[in-house]
Chain A
């Protein structure tokens, strides 16, 4: 019979490991996107019909796609679009979610209840389907995809930030600010916001990873970045069509996407452990 082990694992080393791996992968993928703005070995749209679907080699480190375009160059050149989807959608989600969470978490009542009902209803459709709904109205494109994913991410931000605001709202410094006669806006943005930044940063980091994948999914479906412009989702879609002929065009964009989601996720998890935050049931 094995001895039951109930002692909690020491959080510090694990948190550090997550943080280090997460920060490294995040740095690598961000570096790829930035480098792509400055340099690529070939022009990303340069067609070379003599070297179509070439395996990785000296001339093309990640091989070529079905038009003979250099995969590495396209991974580099498409990086900023994928990053724009991840960071842009998170920024839009925060811009919508933060004010709502601060307002409803601090002034509980009919408005708060109504907003939470709507948030619950919105959480019942998958993020991707919600984003598709918005795209149905706005039409396909990179900017539209950023907006759609941001709107779709907002309910989760409201949920998570609001519960942090609820904890903060009962603290003495809020009572003190009220007693001093401070305005509602000052209490929300001057007192509460600086005290809930930790869960916001953690959630934002994890959200960038998910939005990156969501963005790649929209591009994959032909509703985000429009070909011939490259981004990692578009490249995976193009590679999949010829997958039975050659596996190599898939490798570059697939590695880039996986590295970014693992990176941003571990970064968020590591920060969460480091900052000693509780995790929600949803993401145990």
Chain B
């Protein structure tokens, strides 16, 4: 793969992150609301407010504050959480691992389900199988996560037949079984949404490939349909799917916010909701930036994988 291509994609990813960090900073500073007042309350004396502003560095100019914040990011310093009095970077790092476990499991399960289903639906376009797969996926997309989750709790975690914990978290160091059990329901909710989305994309990607000339040639030279589908068509269909999986990482990170809150799972999503509700700006900024970075990294990786599968992409 061309070095120049890799460098260009990495550069573009970094520029995206730089712009994103500026926007995140602007959102949390330009809008009304002052961290010092938020911490001390409306009744605080002007002297106490001024002292706290100096301590938090809020008395500096906005560009100086921005550069100070930006400078800490490469070493994982996101400032100090104003409500927990701990370094925001350390809190975020711990939660990030928990969210990553959820996201990675969901991505793996959803991809494993969505690709065969999407290929099958495309191969039998217009059949009853295609119709039912599409209808099921539509239901999966249309029902919001905060409705799916309570339903699953009713069926899988409530007295009559419930056997799974309805919410909470056990660290893997304490009990691997407990850790896994607490991940089942959140992963189920996230997977139902992601699989539905992903399989529709795989289906339309495959339909496009199946209509192309080289697939017709493969069929005309008498290859079995199975070989045409899984060897010839899927390779090109997959390049679309990889791009789509990366785009869906954004979708997944959005759902994670709700799902972690529902199941009281201590990850980035629950952290940002806590930070926003308590107006803990260093935590809000850091968490939002990490969530954006996950998406940017996923898309850079997808572009590189795409180029590896189809070297023409990397040529200038």
Contact = CB atoms under 8 A, between A and B. Distances in A.
A1 to B, nearest CB: 5
Interface of A: 1-2, 4-6, 9, 117-118, 120-129, 132-140, 213, 216-217, 220-223, 233, 236-237, 239-240, 243-244, 247, 250, 254, 257-258, 261-262, 265, 281-282, 284
B211 A6 contact: yes
A237 B149 CA distance: 11
11 contacts: A117-B15, A121-B16, A122-B23, A126-B291, A129-B254, A136-B279, A136-B281, A220-B146, A239-B150, A254-B150, A284-B200
A121 B14 CA distance: 10
Given A236-B147, A257-B147, A133 B27 contact: yes
B276 A254 contact: no
A142 B203 CA distance: 39
B124 interface: yes
A140 B166 contact: no
A213 B146 CA distance: 10
Interface in B82-129: 123-126
Contacts of A129: 253-254, 257, 272, 288, 291-292
Interface string B191-227: 0000000001100110000110000000100001100
Contacts of B124: 2
Interface residues of B, number: 65
Contact of A128 (B31, B244, B254): B254
A57 to B, nearest CB: 20
Given A133-B24, A138-B33, A254-B147, A243 B277 contact: no
Contact of A126 (B20, B32, B257, B275): B257
Interface of B: 15-17, 19-20, 23-24, 27-33, 123-126, 142-144, 146-147, 149-151, 153-154, 157-159, 166, 200-201, 204-205, 210-211, 219, 224-225, 244, 247, 250-251, 253-254, 257-258, 261-262, 272-273, 275-277, 279, 281, 284, 288, 291-292, 295-296, 299
Nearest to B21: A121
A9 B127 CA distance: 12
Contacts of B20: 121-122, 124-125
Contacts of B225: 1-2
Contacts of A127: 254
A236 B150 contact: yes
A216 B24 CA distance: 23
Nearest to A209: B142
A138 B257 CA distance: 19
Contacts of A247: 154
Nearest to B145: A217
A260 to B, nearest CB: 10
A244 B153 contact: yes
Contact of A243 (B143, B154, B288): B154
Nearest to A137: B31
A129 B29 CA distance: 16
Contacts of A233: 146
